[in-house]
Amino acid sequence: MATQTLAEAQKLIQNDLISGIIEDIITTNPIWQVMPFTGYTGQAVIVNRENVLGDSQHLAVGGTITAKGASTNTQLTF
């Protein structure tokens, strides 16, 4: 199974979303209308871009996991 360090996970989940992006998300799927979002103040937006997808595989019950490649990400500031 692919592993991810806490430092890598923190890069991906600790940034706020801005209202323009949230409006696009809400119009895509109505379920997001009931989800709480936090506002944004600042001079830049940080976006996480996935460079390489992690491995995946389908398994039967009792199968052996052989997909172990983790994804790689780059943070971009706009």
Residue showing tokens 């997001």: 32
- DSSP character for 76? E
Q: How confident is the model at residue 73 (pLDDT cuts 50, 70, 90)?
A: confident
Examine the pLDDT at 60 and tell me if it is beyond 80: yes
Query: Quick check: helix, strand or coil at residue 25?
Result: helix
- pLDDT tens digit sequence for 3-53: 667 777 776 665 565 556 666 666 777 777 787 766 666 677 777 788 888
What pLDDT was estimated at residue 4? 66
Residue ranges covered by each domain of the chain: 6-77
What pLDDT was estimated at residue 8? 72
Residue showing tokens 């790689």: 72
Asked if 72 and 51 touch (Cβ cutoff 8 Å), the reply is yes
What pLDDT was estimated at residue 55? 79
Query: Quick check: helix, strand or coil at residue 50?
Result: strand
CA-only gyration radius of the chain, Å? 17
What are residue 50's phi and psi, to 5 degrees? Answer: -80, 120
